[in-house]
A = this chain, B = another copy of it.
Amino acid sequence: MKTGILLISLVAATLNFARCAHAQDAEQIVVHKSGQPVSQGSADFFTGAVKMQPMLSANADAPYGAAYVTFAVQARTAWHRHPAGQRLIVISGTAWTQEWNGKRIEAKAGDMIWCPPNIKHWHGASADGEMTHVALTGVKDGENVEWLEKVTDEQYYGH
């Protein structure tokens, strides 16, 4: 068991070293290269194909994570809330987002979206094409999202 923990520690240390290969300590500029491992969004929390590429973790000075997220046409998150809010930078395609009991809102490449804390909402691609955004998600008490029920087709295609 101890060997296992040691091995995990060594692997983690090696990965950290590789990620910060040019830095001698944490107080230097670090470049996080694109091409990081991509994971598929869980069917529990997403509808349709969603690819996620985490890039930056929250830290004491910058208390928000950053990830590239690509939604296939018509793909979307489940309803959810962010305890510390979320900013979305639309990189390509058209984003749709909607609050509970609100109208659907559209955002184009170059637009930025601010979703305040604890607003029940969803976001995703439009019905016409793929969409990529950078998600900048605040962290509060170690949490960044509270997942709720899935978004039905009726909700997605409604207004």
Contacts and interface: CB of A to CB of B under 8 A. Distances in A.
Q: Give the oligomeric copy count.
A: 2
Interface of A: 22, 26-35, 55-56, 61-64, 66, 68, 84-85, 87, 89, 91, 97, 99, 102-103, 105-117, 119, 121, 134, 136, 138
- SS class of chain A's interface: helix, strand, loop or mixed? strand
A31 B116 CA distance: 12
Contact of A27 (B56, B68, B87, B119): B119
A46 to B, nearest CB: 19
Nearest to A64: B62
Contacts of A108: 33-34
A66 B89 contact: yes
